[in-house]
Structure 1
């Protein structure tokens, strides 16, 4: 656990934000603030247990000292020495007890301050208030200036307040509207759009397997290798991959889901088109999850076997939605999810599922749901901070090549994943080890490429 006040200095331990690791800004995991506080509180509880034992020992020592008084006249010198020694021991125990009491109180106070600050920040976010005057903002208190990813998240989160301001509502009233409504409910908005006349194509429709091909090949199962597979899979519209690693009783499965695809198949039949974004953000990927389950069965996966899911952009939302799908989790043991450039802050995985999320500070997409990823022991978010600048920003053809801008390029995320794999940060080491425990270190894998198709929309709509 990182400590701002190391042991031996006489001060109470305080959780500290892990420093950046080169171009990696790391949040969550075993080195994250939340887990550090969990450790501190567990330590405080353990200290309080020791305190109770020390109090009992102190009382017993005092009782022994009093019990020696009647025997002091029998041998005054030795009797006095014994009484003095027991008394000194009791006082020493008392001093230790007082030091531990002080430390436990300070740990509890630190936790209260942390909870107060988190509650205050959440309230300000709900009210749509941020900036230097509220203790946050660009470059304030050592925080880095806001970048595209943060701007997108804040803009979505504060949409109710901002709309009120555009309508001419006073700032204080607009803030109250934002506080009452809370952060923007992207899921509800997407469902509302899908229900609107003329936008029925956004509604989920069944996704089926239209074809499959199996081969055996050497596979790089490190995070960077898996993301590069997602890039390769995405070159063919509507495809996903299922990899079988290991053999016999040690088999495991990896599902690779690509990002958004806007052409290559008849309109409405590619499950990764715009309607796929709506299904992932608004409808929990219900149809895609069913297709992934069927693909695993077709590939030979048996109920209860371990699975890792990997996704880029839209594919990362689908992959993360598997972590909260009861039907999927009832059939398969999903152990890990790896995403890149995906807005998944609103998805809460079932207990015991680890996840690693790569974002870039110049990428708008990860902030599109208006919610940050949770900071927990099993969930690690890495923000890449390396600057990405087009050689010629006025070359609009270059922007077409990178889609939503250089920050969203999967090749950049793969390079970031390489830095993740060699990092010595405890959160990243634990996270990559958890992934490797499922998929192995690489080698021969049985790869099945599935072609998925969504049912066409009914005519006349």
Structure 2
């Protein structure tokens, strides 16, 4: 555990967040709070095992002591000394067993207190209650980052809307707690049904071109993110790299960020409509195209895989980690993202991930949910100051620049923090550190959406010359009433 209570200090086990590493603020991994909770329970279980073993030793010592009683008459002095020695040894074992049992109880009590505190904080956050009065005291003069502000705003949008509608605050909080966080996936799906936004619905994505060459590749986190930037310079491209890995073939899939330009109904699967497919439809069409690209590159079922994505590409990459069809074919081991809103995506068990965010980048907070703090999931928030670029180069903000994330990834690779070393080692264990590899660049295209057929309007009956209304004609001389199943008038 990070900053654990020193051994023999007499203090209770203490859980603490990992300290910042320069401009890197670290959550999750082996130094994360959740893993430390797991360590507490694992430690208590280990102590229980020792207690049971000591109890059996106590029973055996007592049995030996009673077995010595008949031999005390043979030599009273030595017999008595043996009985006393065995009895004292059994008593010492009993005292150690009692102390270990007390420590185990304290560890479990500590875990229950942390579990209660975390549950309370989660409930308060879900109710939209934040501030020093609820135990969330910020640093003096600290201002929330853009990412946290956007994340909180989206997460509490239902409560804010209820307040705008004039509902009492307690009722609004209760309604939000029942509904949960803002459902971005549901909102995207509802938006795609609106008139004029049908282009947000995903269409099949095809592989239309392939280019293969041999090149030296840097497989560090920084090198992989820079490759995502290079791939994103051409519309609709992804990159598949075949590497030797650590003794067996492995593959790296690199997915670029959002590519602007063109019409909303365009053929580039990574245009803004691709964000809707990623957030609202689990990247189903893009994931199927990536599977076909891997097959064409030569990947075989069961091969190990690493997925890398920047911005929108990071959402697609994380969606692969829960895609049953994809995971049934390939052994996805690691996902690396930068500047991506992926807090609402839960990967399959055993898949490691490393997420880079910047406190002044609003994009990672766009789904309204923070990345979970788990053993296999590490989130690194960059806190370095940024220069404001000219308006024409502002884009999505200085915090979202890929080069800034690549620089942060370089710091991650050189960090001595145990969590980061463990995470980068897990990546290197799959793909190695770099060298000459076969690179395939595939061009993906979104299939054209079928044209919407217009239903021809049914012409209305001609109006009556007398009344100006259809269907109110009275029969003239020599004419019979219309047969409508009702008596004519």
Q: Give me the TM-score of the superposition, normalised by structure 1.
A: 0.94
- What value does the CA root-mean-square deviation take over the aligned residues? 2.0
Residues of 2 paired with 1:264 and 1:219: CA distance? Answer: 31
User: Relative to 1, partners in 2 of residues 1:248 and 1:81: Cα closer, same or farther, differing over 3 Å?
Assistant: closer
Q: Which residue of 1 aligns with 2:235?
A: 237
- Kept in 2, the 8 Å contact 1:25–1:383? The answer is yes
Q: Which residue of 1 aligns with 2:93?
A: 93
User: Relative to 1, partners in 2 of residues 1:119 and 1:322: Cα closer, same or farther, differing over 3 Å?
Assistant: same
- Which of the residues 430, 440, 458 maps onto 2:450? 458
Q: Which residue of 2 aligns with 1:165?
A: 163
- Kept in 2, the 8 Å contact 1:237–1:263? The answer is no
Q: Which residue of 2 aligns with 1:46?
A: 46
Q: Which residue of 1 aligns with 2:36?
A: 36
Matched, 1:84 2:79: no
Query: Residues 68-100 of structure 1: CA distance to partner in whole angstroms, max 9, x if unpaired?
Result: 344434433223322221222122112211210
**Equivalences for 1:191-340 in 2 at 5 Å?**
191-246=189-244, 250-263=248-261, 267-340=265-338
Q: Which sits farther off after the overlay, 444-453 or 336-345?
A: 444-453
| Residue 59 of structure 1: how far off its partner (Å) | 2.7
Matched, 1:443 2:435: yes
Matched, 1:431 2:423: yes
Q: Which sits farther off after the overlay, 3-12 or 156-165?
A: 3-12
User: Relative to 1, partners in 2 of residues 1:271 and 1:427: Cα closer, same or farther, differing over 3 Å?
Assistant: same
Instruction: Extract unaligned runs of 5+ from structure 2.
Output: 454-489
User: Relative to 1, partners in 2 of residues 1:314 and 1:335: Cα closer, same or farther, differing over 3 Å?
Assistant: same
Residues of 1 paired with 2:341 and 2:252: CA distance? Answer: 21
Residues of 2 paired with 1:234 and 1:390: CA distance? Answer: 23
Q: Which residue of 1 aligns with 2:397?
A: 405
Residues of 2 paired with 1:24 and 1:126: CA distance? Answer: 27
| Residue 8 of structure 1: how far off its partner (Å) | 2.2
| Residue 417 of structure 1: how far off its partner (Å) | 0.3
- Kept in 1, the 8 Å contact 2:199–2:264? The answer is no
Query: Residues 364-403 of structure 1: CA distance to partner in whole angstroms, max 9, x if unpaired?
Result: 1111111121222211111111111326xxx42242xxx2
Q: Secondary structure at the match of 1:39?
A: helix
Q: Which sits farther off after the overlay, 294-303 or 226-235?
A: 294-303
| Residue 118 of structure 1: how far off its partner (Å) | 1.6
Residues of 2 paired with 1:60 and 1:330: CA distance? Answer: 53
Residues of 2 paired with 1:11 and 1:79: CA distance? Answer: 43
User: Relative to 1, partners in 2 of residues 1:265 and 1:225: Cα closer, same or farther, differing over 3 Å?
Assistant: farther
Residues of 2 paired with 1:275 and 1:127: CA distance? Answer: 32
Instruction: Extract unaligned runs of 5+ from structure 1.
Output: none
| Greater share of residues in helix | 1
- Which of the residues 303, 317, 341 maps onto 1:343? 341
| Residue 159 of structure 1: how far off its partner (Å) | 1.2
| Residue 249 of structure 1: how far off its partner (Å) | 7.2
| Residue 130 of structure 1: how far off its partner (Å) | 1.2
Residues of 1 paired with 2:279 and 2:165: CA distance? Answer: 27
Residues of 1 paired with 2:142 and 2:99: CA distance? Answer: 38
| Residue 264 of structure 1: how far off its partner (Å) | 5.3
Q: Give me the TM-score of the superposition, normalised by structure 2.
A: 0.88
Residues of 1 paired with 2:260 and 2:137: CA distance? Answer: 36
User: Relative to 1, partners in 2 of residues 1:388 and 1:10: Cα closer, same or farther, differing over 3 Å?
Assistant: same
**Equivalences for 1:354-369 in 2 at 5 Å?**
354-369=352-367
The number of residue pairs the alignment matches comes to 453
Q: Which residue of 1 aligns with 2:177?
A: 179
Structure index of larger Rg: 2
Q: Which residue of 2 aligns with 1:396?
A: 391
Residues of 2 paired with 1:266 and 1:236: CA distance? Answer: 18
Q: Which sits farther off after the overlay, 55-64 or 435-444?
A: 55-64
Q: Which sits farther off after the overlay, 300-309 or 216-225?
A: 300-309
Q: Secondary structure at the match of 2:104?
A: helix
Query: Residues 126-178 of structure 1: CA distance to partner in whole angstroms, max 9, x if unpaired?
Result: 211111121115338xx965311111111111111111111121211111111
Residues of 2 paired with 1:107 and 1:57: CA distance? Answer: 24
Q: Which residue of 1 aligns with 2:458?
A: none
